[in-house]
Structure 1
C-alpha cells in the first residue's frame, strides 16, 4: 500500500509543477524533454539489471516501451497545456477519469463482466469531464475548452492500459527501472526531433530556466511511475488499485489547486468532480 500512497502523492505534485511552469513562463515542451533525460538517468542508476544498450531492442517489452514513450511525451505535453488553460482540477479529473478505458479494454480483451452499474459509471465519467471543463454556470461548455481535457482523457487511458498490459505480460520482476528508462529514453529521443524541427523553422528559443523546470519535473515523474509499477506487483486487485490511485490524485490535486493557487471552482466543476469520484467507484467495483 505504501507504494500506491507514494505514487498518488508524487503524481499530484506533477500537476502542481505544470501549473508553476505557467506562472514562471517555462517552455513546457523543452522542460518535458529535459525531464525525460533526467528520468532516464534515474532509471539507469537504479536498475539492477545489466543489459547492454545494443540488446535493449531485443527485449520482449521494447516495442511496448517505444510506443509508450511516444504516448508519454505527447500526453505529458497535453497535461501541461490542460493544467495551464483549464486549471489543475480539470486536468486532474480529465486524466484520472481515463480509468474507464482500461476497464473497457478488459471487457473486450479479457472478457470481463459488464453490467448496468459499470455502464452507468462510464457514462458518468464522460459527463464529469464535460462539467469539470466548464467556465461558467450559465453558458454551455465551449468545444475549444473540451479539446485538451478530452485528449488528456483518451491519452491517459491508453497509457494506463498499455503500461499495465506490457508490465504484466513482458516485464519480469526487477526489470521495472530498465523498462521505465527505455520508455523515458524513447520519449526523450522523440522530443529532441520535435525541438530540432522547431530550430529549423526558427521557432526555438532557449532559456536556462527551462532546464531547471525539466529537472524539477523529471525526478518526481520517474518515482511516480516506479512506485506505480511496484504497486502493480502487490496483492491489490487492479480495480481497487486504480480506484484508490485515481480518486486520490483527483482529490489531492483539487486540494492543492484550492490551497496554493486559489483556483475558484464553479458549481458545474464541483458537480463534475463529485461525479468523477462516483464514476470511478462505479466502474471499478461493478
Structure 2
C-alpha cells in the first residue's frame, strides 16, 4: 500500500504546484518544459532495461505514438493548469480522473475488451457525473471559483482520455519489443521538444523558463510527474488492479476536492458536489 499512497500523493502534489505557480508568477509553459526535461532524464537513467528489439516499422510506430503522446502530455497538462486557474483544483482533478471513461470505451470498441456487468452502468454514471460537474452554479451572484466553463472541462476531459488511450496503444502494440522506460523516454522527449518549440517563439518566455524559480518548480514537477507513474506501476506489481485502480482514482478525486475546498476555499454548487460523488461511484464501477 506504500507505493499506492505515494502515487496518490505525487498526483495531488502536481495539482498543488500548478496552483502555486500562478500565484508566484512562474510561466506555465516554461514550468512544463523543464518538467518534461527532468522526466525524460529520469526515464533514460532509472530504466536499465532500455532496449529495442523490433522491425523498422515497429520502431517507426513507437516513435510516432510516443511523440504524439508527448504532445498530448503538454497540451493536457497545460489545460489542467488552466482549468485549475479557472474552476479550481477540485473539479479539474475530478475531470482528469473521470476521463478514464475514454480508454474504457476505446478498449471496448477497438480491442474488443468487453465491459463487465458493473462497468456498463459505470459508463452511464460517469457521463452524468461530468455533466453535473460542468454545470454553473444556480445563483450567479454566489461566490464561486469562477463561472464554470464547460467547454474547457470538456476539452480537458477528451485530451486526458485520449492521452490515456495512447498508453493503451503502447500496451497493445509496442510493449512486446519496447520497454516501458524506452516508451516514456520517447514520450517525455516529444513533450520537451514541443515545449522548447513554443518557447523559442517568445524570447521573454524563454528567459522566464531559465529563471531559478521556473527551474526549481520544473525540477519538482518532473520528479513528481515521473514518480506518480512509477509508484502507480509499482503498486500494480504488488497489489491487484481491482484494488489499485479504484483506490487511486477515488483518492486523488477526494484529495483534490479537500485541498481545493479547505485550503483554497473553492466554492462548489450542489450540482458540483453531486457530480463529484457520482464521479467517485463511477470510478469504482469502471475499475472494479
Global fold match (TM > 0.5): yes
CA distance 1:51–1:99, change in 2 (3 Å): closer
Corresponding residue of 1:183: 187
Cα distance in 1 between the residues matched to 2:287 and 2:125:
13
Corresponding residue of 2:39: 39
Cα distance in 2 between the residues matched to 1:17 and 1:181:
23
Corresponding residue of 1:206: 208
Residues 98 and 154, structure 1, Cα contact 8 Å, conserved in 2: yes
Compute the displacement of 1:205 (Å).
6.1
Corresponding residue of 2:250: 247
Corresponding residue of 1:266: 269
Corresponding residue of 1:15: 15
CA distance 1:192–1:151, change in 2 (3 Å): same
Which segment is superposed worse, 12-21 or 249-258? Answer: 249-258
SS of the counterpart of 2:26? Answer: coil
The two structures have a TM-score, normalised by structure 1, of 0.84
Cα distance in 2 between the residues matched to 1:263 and 1:63:
40
1:27 has 2:27 as partner: yes
Residues 61 and 171, structure 1, Cα contact 8 Å, conserved in 2: no
Compute the displacement of 1:94 (Å).
0.7
Compute the displacement of 1:178 (Å).
3.2
Compute the displacement of 1:173 (Å).
9.8
Corresponding residue of 2:114: 113
Cα distance in 1 between the residues matched to 2:123 and 2:139:
25
After the TM superposition, which residues 85-100 of structure 1 pair with which residues of structure 2 at under 5 Å, given as runs? 85-100=86-101
Cα distance in 1 between the residues matched to 2:116 and 2:3:
31
After the TM superposition, which residues 30-109 of structure 1 pair with which residues of structure 2 at under 5 Å, given as runs? 30-49=30-49, 58=59, 61-109=62-110
Root-mean-square deviation (Å): 3.1
Corresponding residue of 2:151: 147
Cα distance in 1 between the residues matched to 2:177 and 2:280:
32
Cα distance in 1 between the residues matched to 2:9 and 2:138:
31
Residues 94 and 253, structure 2, Cα contact 8 Å, conserved in 1: yes
Corresponding residue of 1:224: 228
Compute the displacement of 1:170 (Å).
2.3
1:277 has 2:277 as partner: no
Compute the displacement of 1:24 (Å).
1.3
Compute the displacement of 1:179 (Å).
2.5
Cα distance in 2 between the residues matched to 1:115 and 1:274:
22
CA distance 1:260–1:196, change in 2 (3 Å): same
Number of equivalenced pairs: 279
Question: Any stretches of 5+ residues in structure 2 without a counterpart?
Answer: 141-145
Cα distance in 2 between the residues matched to 1:73 and 1:163:
15
SS of the counterpart of 1:78? Answer: helix
Cα distance in 1 between the residues matched to 2:208 and 2:33:
13
Residues 180 and 226, structure 1, Cα contact 8 Å, conserved in 2: no
Compute the displacement of 1:245 (Å).
2.2
Question: Any stretches of 5+ residues in structure 1 without a counterpart?
Answer: none
